[in-house]
């Protein structure tokens, strides 16, 4: 190993350290760039190789991810799907959230997602039970991925059902659609009303135009200031 020569400037200025050429202008390796990108997102991030496509070739990225797996830095969830797992002091390695998985599945594509079915009901606090089949409506390709006992489903739907995608009003509409008109009682209405903040009301007022008539009738009274309880 080359030794660094210590040069003391007798004029009182700070000493300088000549640097070995091998220590400067060293290109950052693919592994380093991939690892830094993962660390930058933090634990709980779910990703696919496509998230690193600007860093290197597909083969180089796959190799880097394989080495990070071998080092137990990341975990492979399913084919082409990884996460930087959360480590709990008591529970150990924590499973990734459904939202994180869904975001990774859409990757870098301009695809919208909307929680639907029993999952939308759970997200709004209308049920404490987390479904084993978590459904997201999408305007992109349909896809399924099974992680442990949980299945994440991206279900392609018509544009009308995606009109409020990504907003609370969209989840409200889908949750009520799943419950059905006869299951919407006073308790459900009370929970739904508490979910609607003042800033949500103008948006909800517009989005119910895309909802089934009975759902629009349920939500419309909650879109005005007089609905605050």
Tens digits of pLDDT across the chain (229 residues): 444 333 334 344 444 434 343 433 334 799 999 999 999 999 999 999 999 999 999 999 999 999 999 999 999 998 889 999 999 999 899 989 988 998 888 876 678 999 999 999 999 999 988 898 999 999 988 988 888 888 999 999 999 999 999 899 999 999 999 999 999 999 999 999 999 999 999 999 999 999 999 999 999 999 976 555 4
Does 146 map to a domain? no
Does 2 map to a domain? no
- What tokens does 149 get? 């006992």
Instruction: Give the CATH number for residue 45.
Output: 1.10.10
Does 10 map to a domain? no
The number of domains in the chain is 2
Domain edge (last residue) among 48, 74, 91? 91
Q: Left (φ > 0), alpha (ψ -120 to 50) or beta: where does 97 sit?
A: beta
Q: How do residues 145-190 score in pLDDT, each as one tens digit?
A: 888 888 999 999 999 999 999 899 999 999 999 999 999 999 999 9
Does 152 map to a domain? no
Does 12 map to a domain? no
Domain edge (last residue) among 91, 120, 146? 91
Give residue 82's domain range: 28-91
3-state secondary structure 58-124: HHHHHHHHHHHHHCCCCEEEECCEEECCEEECCCEEECCCHHHHHHHHHCCCCCCEEEEHHHHHHHC
- Long-range CB contacts for residues 197-205, cutoff 8 Å, separation at least 24: 198/225, 198/228, 200/168, 200/169, 201/225, 201/227, 203/167, 203/168, 203/169, 204/168, 204/169, 204/172
Domain edge (last residue) among 62, 91, 120? 91
Backbone angles phi, psi at 137, to 5 degrees: -80, 150
Does 57 map to a domain? yes
Does 222 map to a domain? yes
Does 137 map to a domain? no
Q: How do residues 58-67 score in pLDDT, each as one tens digit?
A: 999 999 999 9
- What tokens does 19 get? 């640097």
């Amino acid at each position: 190993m080359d030794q660094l020569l210590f040069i003391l400037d007798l004029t009182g200025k700070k000493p300088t350290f000549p640097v070995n050429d091998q220590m400067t202008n060293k290109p950052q390796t693919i592994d380093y760039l991939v690892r830094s990108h993962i660390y930058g997102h933090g634990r709980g991030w779910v990703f696919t190789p496509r998230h690193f496509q600007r860093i290197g070739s597909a083969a180089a990225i796959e190799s880097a991810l394989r080495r990070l797996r071998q080092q137990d830095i990341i975990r492979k969830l399913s084919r082409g799907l990884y996460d930087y797992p959360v480590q709990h002091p008591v529970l150990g390695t924590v499973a990734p959230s459904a939202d994180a998985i869904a975001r990774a599945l859409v990757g870098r594509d301009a695809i919208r997602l909307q929680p639907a079915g029993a999952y939308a009901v759970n997200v709004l606090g209308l049920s404490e039970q987390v479904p084993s089949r978590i459904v997201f409506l999408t305007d992109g390709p349909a896809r399924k991925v099974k992680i442990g006992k949980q299945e994440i489903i991206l279900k392609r739907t018509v544009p009308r059902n995606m009109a409020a995608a990504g907003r609370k009003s969209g989840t409200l509409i889908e949750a009520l659609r799943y419950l059905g008109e006869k299951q919407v009682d006073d308790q459900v209405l009370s929970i739904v009303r508490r979910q609607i903040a003042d800033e949500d009301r103008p948006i909800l007022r517009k989005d119910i135009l895309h909802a089934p008539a009975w759902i629009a009738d349920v939500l419309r009274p909650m879109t005005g200031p007089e609905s605050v309880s």
